[in-house]
A and B are shown apart, each in its own frame.
Chain A
Amino acid sequence: MALIALILLPAIGGLVAFFVAGKGERERWVTIATFALMLVLLIAVVATGGDGRWYDKVSYPWVPSFGISLEFAIDGLSATMIALAAGLGIISVMASWSEIRTQSGLFHASLCWTVAATVGVFLSFDLLIFAFFWEAMLVPAFTLIAVWGHGDKEGAALKFLIFNAAAGFGLLAASFALAAMADHMTFSAFELAEMKLSTPVQVWMLLGFSLAFMVKLSVPPFHAWLPEAHTLAPTAGSILLAGLLLKTGAYGLFRFAPMLFPDGLAAVAPYGIALGAAGALYGGLVACGQNDAKRLVAYTSIAHMSIVLMGIAAGVHYALAGAAVEMIAHSFSASALFLLIGALYERTHTRDLRQLGGLQQTAPKFAAAFALFCSALLALPGTANFVGEALVIVGIFQVNWVFALLALSTLIVSVIYATRLLKGLVFGLPQPKPPLADMTWREYWPILVMGIGTLIVGLYPQSLLALLEPAIKAALIHTP
Chain B
Amino acid sequence: MTDNVQQAPKVRKKFKFRLTRRAFSYPYILFLMIFVVVPLVLILVNAFIYDGAFSFQNFADFFNVGTSKGLSVLWKSIVIGLMTTVICLIIGYPLALILSKMKAGKLLILFFMLPMWINFLIRTLATKAIFDAMGVTLGMGTVIFGMVYNYLPFMIMPLYNSISNIDKSYSEAALDLGADKMTVLVKTILPLSFPGILSGITMVFIPAISTFAITEILSDRQIYLFGDSIQNMFSQNMYGVGSVMSLVMLVLVLISNLILNRFGAKDESGSVVL
Report if A and B associate in a common complex: no
Which residues of A line the B interface, CB within 8 A?
Answer: none
